[in-house]
Amino acid sequence: MKNGLDFLNLLNCDVSLKILKNLEDPSDFVRFSAVSRSWRQFVIENGLLKHLCQRMFPQLSRVDHVNELCGTAKGHAEAGSSNFMEWEALKREHRVYAFFARGCLSFALRECIYEAIIASSTDNDPEEGIPNTLEPRDRVGRRASYWSSKGQSNPAVPETLTYRLCADLCVITEINIRPFQAYFQIGKPIYSANSVRFRMGHVKSCMDNIVKESCQDCGNDKSCMDNIVKESCQDCGNEKFAWTYTSQEFPMAQENCLQNFRLPEPVLCIGGILQIELLGRVQRQEMDSLYYICVSHVQVVGRPLSPAFGIQTFEHSEKFVLEALSYEQPTSPAQSSSAPSLQMRVRDLEQILNLLRGNVVNVVEYGYEWEIEDEESDEEDEDEEDRE
């Protein structure tokens, strides 16, 4: 007699599930279902891939259902008997969660910030504005590039920096922050924070309604929404965002280097909004004896899940729909980095224009040298892209 047992038949469901819960790779589940029809049925019936994803990312418990807008079985289930519909729904979940798990483990790791939304306070806007944190250098030409909070006499007053990520769904693995060392001040103080904490979430759906009402004409919802968000949350913006994940506190060193804050487990950011909370101030500015926090650079590293996946939110509910838009692996970074680099060019341009208008930061002396030809060609390129 050949050695070997079809254990799905032999063991009861609970024990079989216990065995399969040890599988961590979605490919293993998929290959398991290719063994025989009854094995495939078991995997689909018991939603094993869905449970795998939920184990990896508890944030997925908010998923109401999945939509498949690609592949051979597009769209929603057709009318039919409820058993048939249920089975189709289970199969759809199987396909979507399989590729989702795959994406969360193996899409390329890259910088995830798309743009800066708002800081809780800024000392001199825009010279010390939050967009500077997207520039890795702490000086550009002879101009310092950093964000500074307003000064406070109480060092316990926290600050927040809020960013929009490049995809509605991103698996975040780590965040890197470089505090700013004021190289132009005596003693070269480093304005770090005592510790940091991270939040992830989405723009509250009530904001969507405000946006939709006020921009009936322009089709560009996203940038309008950002403007409205920026205008209506001058102080801290927290009322406009719903946070679905808050990390532990990580201590921050008072060192002028890119400090790595690795999340204990990768976290799924649903909604594309990430906020850095800077807790506790450590450095006083000699000039005014107030405590400041300044950040030179922020990097968020993770795996963006678009364009393969998207989400749909509901108006008055925390639930959302997970949508599979494509079963192709996203292509290399070269393609999708065009948006951020355009942002950078626009930002540099704004700062150059600011200088022209004579907005100069008190403590920094500058004489800025730039090449006029380059600036003009930047403007030209920007106009062309706008016209597209």
Partner 1 sequence: MGSTSTKIKLRTSDQKVFEVEKAVAVQSQTIKYIYENGCPDSVIHVHSVSGDILSKILDYCKKHVNSAAGKEDISPEELYEWDANFVKVDQNTLFDLILAANCLKIESLLDLTCQTVANMIKGKRPEEIRTTFNIKNDYTIEAEEAVRRENKWAFDMLGGVGTMVIEELADDTMSKCVTNTKSRVCVIAANQIVMMRSISKLANKKSIDVYKQPQNPTTPRIKESVKQRNVGTGFIELFFHFKCKM
318, 206 Cβ separation under 8 angstroms? no
Residue matched to tokens 């016209």: 387
Query: Using the rule CB under 8 A, which residue among 153, 223, 246, 329 binds partner 1?
Result: 329
What number of chain residues touch partner 1 (CB under 8 A)?
39
For residue 264, state whether it binds partner 1 (rule: CB under 8 A): no
Burial class (CB in 10 A: 0-12, 13-18, 19+), 372: exposed
For residue 349, state whether it binds partner 1 (rule: CB under 8 A): no
Neighbours of 125 (CB within 10 A): 15
Minimum CB distance to partner 1 smaller for 33 or for 283:
33
Query: Using the rule CB under 8 A, which residue among 53, 98, 274, 279 binds partner 1?
Result: 98
For residue 48, state whether it binds partner 1 (rule: CB under 8 A): no
For residue 178, state whether it binds partner 1 (rule: CB under 8 A): no
Neighbours of 95 (CB within 10 A): 20
Minimum CB distance to partner 1 smaller for 207 or for 308:
308
For residue 95, state whether it binds partner 1 (rule: CB under 8 A): yes
For residue 361, state whether it binds partner 1 (rule: CB under 8 A): no
Q: Are strands 63-68 and 110-111 parallel, antiparallel or unpaired?
A: unpaired
Sole window of 38-46, 177-185, 255-263, 314-322 interacting with partner 1 (rule: CB under 8 A)? 38-46
Give me 38's structure tokens: 């009854």
Those residues whose C-beta lies under 8 Å from the C-beta of residue 245, and which sit 6 or more positions away, are 59, 198, 199, 200, 201, 267, 269
Residue matched to tokens 């922020």: 298
Cα-only R_g, the chain: 25
Task: Report whether the peptide linkage leading into residue 158 is cis, meaning its omega lies within 30 degrees of zero.
Answer: no
Return phi, psi of residue 290, to 5°: -105, 155
Minimum CB distance to partner 1 smaller for 35 or for 253:
35
**What is the closest distance, in whole angstroms, from the C-beta atom of residue 18 to partner 1 in the complex?**
5
Minimum CB distance to partner 1 smaller for 33 or for 247:
33
**What is the closest distance, in whole angstroms, from the C-beta atom of residue 260 to partner 1 in the complex?**
20
**What is the closest distance, in whole angstroms, from the C-beta atom of residue 71 to partner 1 in the complex?**
8
**What is the closest distance, in whole angstroms, from the C-beta atom of residue 269 to partner 1 in the complex?**
23
Minimum CB distance to partner 1 smaller for 103 or for 237:
103
Work out the angle between the directed axes of helices 82-106 and 48-56 (0-180°, nearest 10): 40
**What is the closest distance, in whole angstroms, from the C-beta atom of residue 6 to partner 1 in the complex?**
5
User: 126-145: which residues touch partner 1 (CB under 8 A)?
Assistant: none
Give me 46's structure tokens: 């018991």
Query: Using the rule CB under 8 A, which residue among 6, 235, 286, 379 binds partner 1?
Result: 6
**What is the closest distance, in whole angstroms, from the C-beta atom of residue 233 to partner 1 in the complex?**
41
Nearest to residue 226, comparing CAs of 160, 214, 16? Answer: 214
For residue 22, state whether it binds partner 1 (rule: CB under 8 A): yes
Neighbours of 276 (CB within 10 A): 23
Sole window of 9-17, 202-210, 230-238, 257-265 interacting with partner 1 (rule: CB under 8 A)? 9-17
Query: Using the rule CB under 8 A, which residue among 35, 339, 344, 363 binds partner 1?
Result: 35
The DSSP element (H or E) to which 86 belongs, if any, is helix 82-106
341, 235 Cβ separation under 8 angstroms? no
User: 50-89: which residues touch partner 1 (CB under 8 A)?
Assistant: 71-72
Query: Using the rule CB under 8 A, which residue among 13, 40, 271, 277 binds partner 1?
Result: 40
111, 340 Cβ separation under 8 angstroms? yes
For residue 334, state whether it binds partner 1 (rule: CB under 8 A): no
**What is the closest distance, in whole angstroms, from the C-beta atom of residue 325 to partner 1 in the complex?**
16
* Dihedral angle over CA of 361, 367, 372, 374, nearest 10: -70
List contacts with partner 1 (CB under 8 A).
2-7, 10-12, 14-15, 18-20, 22-23, 25-28, 30-40, 71-72, 95, 98-99, 102, 106, 329
